[in-house]
Structure 1
């Protein structure tokens, strides 16, 4: 079943005349149901893979930004959780419209889409609410102001992270978890880090590369593999590694689907949201599958909110599960 936002687009598909681009759709099926020439721009690898399977890889782009030389009659951006990410997308995609083209913003009413008039104001005098249904809204504008040049480099921020005995630079982009700071759960993991083994180690859901780069700094003989579903996160992780002089392997993956080989250790502060909604399935799937990727005697360090019931699943999969540290909010597990 289509998401509410995609259902809203379906009832407005008469607007999709000419060549259109959907940005970060919540489901792939919308590409098979819209009766129009529609391509996809995806910053999230899971929906990118699914969409490419539905309507062909040549119709879809996975990355941080969309090529500026492209031209569309209309573009629909699905409102992201972070408004600064929406600002970056608009600043990029306003350059990808034909003269007189339309830029639309769609999303859940509780997810920030009502800020469309303010988000669009640097590019157009007028913003119109086009439709509302399924607790979602669709806003549109036609750019009539000259946009500033767009360059991804302008959106990077770099912060020095101090944890343990280390201080090291980390790069952030809008929409990347804990942008610009070290979240307390990750701090708990790093301050209680189990000795890092030689060999391949995995940073799952790597975000900006905070954990993976710390692990590499702790043991230069470790071969660090970082994976995430977000193109924004992977780009930041690569930039963070380069800033610290670390050679890492960056792999876009939906869960462990693109990961191969065995690891001596794995580390994660896993996500538990999909958009606005709580979702433990990605992490539960990771825990259940991980034993097939670990060498004998390998360890997993996982930090999470205390209320999330990961311990019973860890105990089903691993021979030994210990709580290394905990607070009123977080719990750090060591599983072997």
Structure 2
């Protein structure tokens, strides 16, 4: 079933029948086929929807990247409103640089997801912004590009963040839309400040974000092979840049959960996600925990930090013989898990 924003687009399907259109971060994998425009291209920053969309057909129509290449030009584009307003501003700047003169740029999203702020954001590229349609608690805003558009350079949106945690000082690359953009998350701080001795071998940072945990592991255990993985192209880009900043030879993998991760690990470390877009969603972490057995070596361990309201202890005890709360704050619990069943 189409998401509510996609259903709103389908109410206006005639708009997208002709011309070269770019669809940005759709929240489901069926909308590209249903719009039925052979010149439609789809830009994904999230690997799960990208994979599902490619599997649904016409994989050449889809691209997974942190930024869309601006050498391609379109007659119009639709951006699905992201959770982060700064990410929305970055996407508008990127996509506007891909549009022909007087092209249309539209933003669609749920009212509770902040789409009402789209009108002000679109004023940066068009002198007149219109509310095109609204239904199913969603809205569609549009503008014609009639203002000067600057060339887009992703590096201009990057920031270098100084991290001081667990006895180490190092730098991290961050971008709008990456988890806890521009600062150290308190849960990650609890994990790294209370980390037991790091095992040697292959180490996995699951849901790596900007690479804070993965770079810490690489700096403290340079002889180990560090792998970082995330569903977000922005996170993958930042983790690669963070590894370069710290002169680390880490491997960064785009993956929907553990699906695209290869091999086994002596230890896994994670501050796992519990949101999908604006929705609370525990399924990613629940699937991760249930699938972990095939990714851990004999004697392998899991170190996981989570908000205290997320009751993962029972799920962890179903999979591990030894589950110990290593540290607790008013908001977070750090679990050390060993002897997988």
TM-score band, normalised by shorter chain: over 0.9
CA distance in 2, matches of 1:88, 1:64: 11
SS for the counterpart of 1:320 is: strand
Q: Deviations over 1:137-196 (max 9, x none)?
A: 000011111112210110000111111211100110000011111111100000111211
Q: Tell me what 1:159 maps to.
A: 161
Q: Tell me what 2:113 maps to.
A: 111
CA contact (8 A) 2:43 2:68 kept: yes
Q: Tell me what 1:36 maps to.
A: 37
Q: Deviations over 1:218-261 (max 9, x none)?
A: 11111100000000001111111110111100110000000111
CA distance in 2, matches of 1:178, 1:28: 27
Worse-matched range after superposition: 24-33 or 130-139: 24-33
Which consecutive residues of structure 1, in runs of 5 or more, have no partner in the other structure? none
CA distance in 2, matches of 1:25, 1:221: 41
Which consecutive residues of structure 2, in runs of 5 or more, have no partner in the other structure? none
Using the TM superposition, give the Cα deviation of residue 111 of structure 1 relative to its aligned residue in structure 2, in angstroms: 1.1
CA distance in 2, matches of 1:14, 1:65: 27
CA contact (8 A) 1:314 1:321 kept: yes
CA contact (8 A) 2:97 2:150 kept: no
CA contact (8 A) 1:320 1:335 kept: yes
Q: Tell me what 1:4 maps to.
A: 4
Q: Tell me what 1:135 maps to.
A: 137
CA distance in 2, matches of 1:262, 1:286: 14
CA distance in 2, matches of 1:170, 1:276: 25
CA contact (8 A) 1:196 1:222 kept: no
Structure-1-length-normalised TM-score: 0.98
Using the TM superposition, give the Cα deviation of residue 275 of structure 1 relative to its aligned residue in structure 2, in angstroms: 0.6
Q: Tell me what 2:214 maps to.
A: 212
SS for the counterpart of 1:185 is: helix
Q: Tell me what 1:26 maps to.
A: 27
CA contact (8 A) 2:204 2:228 kept: yes
Please list every run of at least 4 consecutive aligned residues from structure 1 whose deviation after the TM superposition is greater than 4 angstroms: none
Using the TM superposition, give the Cα deviation of residue 291 of structure 1 relative to its aligned residue in structure 2, in angstroms: 1.1
